[in-house]
A and B are shown apart, each in its own frame.
Chain A
């Protein structure tokens, strides 16, 4: 956890004279104009989208400004990603001479008094924002940060610092083993895809490795379309080299020579960070004609979505990379056999691929020590909605929803009552409070009628109107339907119309039957899981909150 040799810091500080993107929107950088006093302790400043969204840049600028005014110089700084404790942002960490890092947050400019600045630079307590060493923060203590181990700690775009901390070590080791051995290791880990379907990663690789055709491709799915999820974004911004390492290992294992990182357009910072990292990896000889000088050729490019949820679905995603309309392809053939440009292609979620370096470094057995029988390893959960302390956590599979929501999430804010928990995004189900003891694992959530999906957990409080929420989900589905298959193309629109009718107080009991029948058609006849699963939140609302729907139906005068 402590940071790097003096040498690394030295270079790091030089690197950091140009802060990472996207600072374009931030105030003019202090580091460009002010002298840096290396006798001052180094500050670690989270530069995550959410940090900035809650004013981190204003706070940092003011902080540096005031230190400069007070001391005539500024301390060296390092931008890092976030640790996911977003309720603590804007956050500032100070590296003490002991190497220990102590944190302050959430910071407000009003806290930046001269006195407080002095205290901060000494790592001492200030009122209202002292957090101490973050590793000991109660939120992090219970976590197992296998994938997010560097995020928020190491500078994402300082390749040298990262390598000194072991980055690309797993790739080095993998290159010493045969490709089938690497695949066997991944198979043995039982790693399941983090994109939603939970398909065993190693088996997918094995298929691609065996498939005829060249070149082969590795595609990282960073579309992260599910509203309520942000783990891919955090990793892309905060630790992009981990993804590159995972992709390089995948490429070696299956014999791929080209790869794409597909990122949604809503994530400009992730796109910029990823592009920088790819350039760095190329310059360092990690990517290029010979991976790390000993592997085969492998190079990466970033492709960007233009605002279409369906492009997270792997075949639509491939169409999108090819530059076309993101329309779902019928499967089989699966991308593993015929994917990008109709060549064998591994499509994995960002988190799946980012799990690979840890597994290759520590072994499948170590990975399997975490989690449950059916869901080995850790799970990255992203909490959102009506919670006191929404955050990203990485924990072993198997915790109960209650531990997650009430524990890490801090429960609903004061005065608000938890009404439903939604797992797995817009394709997952809604769980009522009585199901809060459901274990968070692929099998646990499935049994409860939910879905793990990409690990997004959104909490709704008592103010939520379940009919309106159902309409909201169907509107999303209708808006995002690719339009290829009839049940979803027309069905989602009709379902939205029916729910609007109920919402307007014009619905009849037959309309609810019609809705259920339509949901059945969509579920079983749709071509892809968007149309197939989009009815689930609505069906679960109907199941768990039937009275809210009935209460909305039209009063038909003469009864019955």
Chain B
């Protein structure tokens, strides 16, 4: 639901882009459903293999619905220098899952990212698209505890 319009819009743009369509669809529904792939292939005229190739290249794209929240822990250099691996470890412990997975409750999908542009207030995480700076393992555990 909701993505048909964005595929149609991208198809009518002067330079239709499979990547843009995929990102737009994911922007609407949080992932790229199989039907959206069919629509992009048909409406943008992208060869099937290329579309799946694009899907397999960009690490933000996913074909399965994520949990109710998406958490990404920054492993960029500044955050690393400020002990972000410990933040990641805390997240893994709190959620009981590895990066790339969703916790058992289906509440949070955990991921990592290289830099959120918040390096002046590292370590950083991104929760549902909003950056949180100055995170510590304790602070993150608390934030995660409050998520439904």
Where the two chains meet, the residues of A that have a C-beta atom closer than 8 Å to any C-beta of B are: 25, 49-50, 52-54, 84, 86-87, 89, 224-230, 233-234, 265-268, 270, 303-309, 320-327, 341, 382-386, 390-392, 422, 425-426, 456, 458-461, 463-464, 469, 472, 476, 479-480
Closest residue of chain B to A326 (Cβ to Cβ) is: B57
Question: Told that A308-B57, A323-B46 touch, could you supply 20 new A-B pairs with CB distance under 8 A?
Answer: A25-B130, A52-B131, A87-B120, A225-B115, A227-B119, A230-B117, A303-B17, A307-B59, A322-B17, A323-B20, A324-B18, A324-B50, A325-B53, A385-B78, A390-B121, A422-B77, A458-B78, A459-B81, A460-B81, A476-B114
Query: In the complex, A391 Cα to B54 Cα: how many Å?
Result: 36
Bound CA span A222–B101, Å: 29
- Whether B77 lies near A53 (C-beta < 8 A) is no
Residues of B within 8 A of A267 (CB): 117
Q: Is B9 an interface residue (CB 8 A)?
A: no
CB distance from A481 to the nearest CB of B (A): 11
Given contacts A384-B122, A386-B81, contact A325 B117 (CB under 8 A): no
Q: Cα distance A25–B132 when bound, in Å? A: 12
Q: Is the CB of A54 within 8 A of B133?
A: yes
Give 9 closest A-B pairs by Cβ, nearest first. A227-B76, A323-B17, A306-B58, A384-B78, A384-B119, A307-B60, A385-B81, A86-B120, A53-B133
- Known: A307-B58, A307-B60, A324-B54. Contact between A426 and B113, CB under 8 A? no
The contact sample of 13 A-B pairs, CB cut-off 8 A, is A50-B131, A53-B124, A53-B132, A53-B133, A87-B120, A266-B117, A268-B129, A305-B58, A306-B19, A321-B17, A325-B50, A384-B119, A479-B114
Give the complex CA separation of A19 and B37 in angstroms. 36
A81 to B113, CA, bound (A): 24
- Point out the residues of chain A lying under 8 angstroms from B121, CB to CB: 50, 53-54, 86, 89, 390
- Chain A residues contacting B79 (CB-CB under 8 Å) are 227
Q: Render B54-94 as a binary contact track against A, CB cut-off 8 A, 1 for contact.
A: 10011111000000000000111111111100000000000
A87 to chain B, nearest CB (A): 7
B117-146 to A contact mask, C-beta < 8 Å, 1/0: 111111010101111111000000000000
B residues less than 8 Å from A309 (CB atoms): 114
The interface residues of chain B lying within 8 Å CB-to-CB of A476 are: 114
Q: Which residues of B contact A325 (CB under 8 A)?
A: 50, 53-54, 57
B15 at the binding interface (Cβ < 8 Å): yes
Question: Is B110 an interface position by the 8 A CB rule?
Answer: no
Closest to A461 in B: B81
Residue B95 lies at the interface, judged by CB distance under 8 Å to chain A? no
Question: Roughly how many angstroms separate A308 CA and B79 CA in the complex, as a whole number?
Answer: 19
Q: B17-45: contact bitstring with A at CB < 8 Å (1 yes, 0 no)?
A: 11111110000000000000000000010
Check if A426 sits within 8 Å of B20, measured CB to CB. no
A426 vs B115: C-alpha distance when bound (angstroms): 11
Q: Which of A265, A308, A456 has the most CB of B within 10 A?
A: A265
Least distance between A137 CB and chain B CB atoms (Å): 15
* Chain B proximity of A250: nearest CB distance (Å): 19
Contact call A230/B15, Cβ cutoff below 8 A: no
Q: In the bound complex, what is the Cα–Cα distance between A383 and B118 (angstroms)? A: 11
A383–B120 touching, CB < 8 Å: yes
Question: Which residues of chain B are near A425, meaning CB under 8 Å?
Answer: 77
A306-B60, A307-B59 in contact; A53/B118 too (CB < 8 A)? yes
Among A50, A89, A425, A461: residue with most chain B CB under 10 A? A50
* Alpha-carbon gap, A385 to B82, bound state (A): 6
Assembled-state Cα–Cα distance A163/B81 (Å) = 41
* Complex CA–CA separation, A229 to B79 (angstroms): 11
Shortest CB-to-CB span from A60 to chain B, Å, is: 15
B131 (CB) vs chain A CBs: closest residue: A53
B116 interface residue (CB < 8 Å to A): yes
Q: Are A227 and B114 in contact (CB under 8 A)?
A: yes
Q: Find A391's partner among B53, B77, B120, B126 (CB 8 Å cutoff).
A: B120
A226 to B114, CA, bound (A): 8
Of chain A, the residue at the smallest CB distance from B114 is A227
Q: A230-B119, A306-B23 are in contact. Are A54 and B17 (CB under 8 A)?
A: no
Min CB distance B32 to A, Å, is 11
Complex Cα spacing A267 to B61, Å: 16
| Residues of chain A within 8 A of B83, CB atoms compared | 463
Complex Cα distance A50/B134, Å? 10
Q: Which residues of B sit under 8 angstroms from A326, Cβ to Cβ? A: 57-58
* B54: chain A residues within 8 A (beta carbon): 323-325
**Pair A304/B81 contact, Cβ less than 8 Å:** no
Chain A residues with Cβ below 8 Å from B122 are 384-385, 390
